[in-house]
Amino acid sequence: MMDRNVTVPATLADGLEAASEIFVAHDGRLLGAIAVADTVRPEARRAVEALAHMRLRTILLTGDTKAVAGTVARSLGIGEVDLLPEDKLARIKKLVARGRVVAMLGDGINDAPALTEATLGVAMGSGTDVARESADVVLLGNDLVRFADTVGIARRTRRIIWQNFAGTIGVDTIGIVLAGLGFLNPLPAAFIHVASEMTFILNSARMLPRAAGSGYAVDAPIPSALAARWRPSTSCAGKFEP
């Protein structure tokens, strides 16, 4: 506009900090401005809050202007923002080099290198082909809360696995010691073995989906976040790390 000697009032963009302005002029006279802005997904804040509850650190990586990025970050409760698209890859590399476990969540073309570099790359199902091919996991739905649900289910699964592993090692160790000292004969040993195996099986059964309002496990469908495609590579989109 300055090159065409069109004067733009300083107050024209007031209240549009979270938007990019397109100025419209004709014959050297300013006609007005068009504000263009992306809307934040309605479930995004719930997803960020769920990740924070799991003590996961969230960073917003965006190519938007500082004003737009700051407004979006504040609305989502995110305290860290990186602005330049080319900085995404550098930031991911830096975090991984420091020993961080980094999940990158994204859907754009410029997210692909960072998705590949992260410990885990997650692409949205509605994202570009390049992002989906670069990711380790592709969420079939577009609900960001599904990502937080997936992280929660993965953590719970790992916790149960470790419980069963530690319990098995503990029971077997105690049984070996008692048998070696002559306090455990074959019949009680067999009973303890079967009882411990049943306990660990029942503990694993806690992972079964449950019907709403029911205390019994049912053959429920896997959430779309878990019915994701898994490929043996490295990538991620969005940016989360402990």
pLDDT at residue number 16: 61
Percent of the chain with pLDDT over 90: 24
Residues 95 and 141 in one domain: yes
What would you measure as the largest C-alpha separation in the chain, in angstroms?
Answer: 102
Residues 88 and 11 in one domain: no
Residues 111 and 166 in one domain: no
Question: What DSSP character marks residue 237?
Answer: B
Q: Can you tell me the distance from the alpha carbon of 208 to that of 190, in angstroms, rounded to the nearest whole number?
A: 28
| Residue 81 domain flag | yes
Query: Residue 60 maps to which CATH number?
Result: 3.40.50.1000
| Residue 60 domain flag | yes
Residues 18 and 129 in one domain: no
Residues 213 and 235 in one domain: no
pLDDT at residue number 25: 84
| Residue 77 domain flag | yes
Give, in order, the Cα–Cα distances in Å from 47 to each of 33, 105, 170, 240. Answer: 34, 12, 38, 12
Residues 71 and 104 in one domain: yes
Residues 103 and 177 in one domain: no
Q: Can you tell me the distance from the alpha carbon of 10 to that of 76, in angstroms, rounded to the nearest whole number?
A: 29
Residues 139 and 106 in one domain: yes
Question: What DSSP character marks residue 220?
Answer: P
| Residue 66 domain flag | yes
Residues 193 and 81 in one domain: no
| Residue 226 domain flag | no
Least confident of 16-20, 86-90, 218-222: 218-222
Query: pTM of the entire structure?
Result: 0.65
Residues 134 and 236 in one domain: yes
Which secondary structure element, helix H or strand E, spans residue 135, and what is its range?
Answer: none
Query: Which residues span the domain enclosing 67?
Result: 44-146+231-241
**Cβ–Cβ under 8 Å, residues 68 and 16:** no
Sorted by sequence, the CB contacts under 8 Å of residue 217 that are 6+ apart come out as 205, 208, 209, 210
Residues 51 and 138 in one domain: yes
- Number of structural domains found in the chain: 3
Q: Can you tell me the distance from the alpha carbon of 234 to that of 237, in angstroms, rounded to the nearest whole number?
A: 11
Residues 135 and 199 in one domain: no
| Residue 151 domain flag | no
pLDDT per position as a tens digit, 21-41: 778 888 778 888 787 777 788
**Cβ–Cβ under 8 Å, residues 101 and 119:** yes
| Residue 108 domain flag | yes
pLDDT per position as a tens digit, 108-129: 888 888 899 999 999 888 888 8
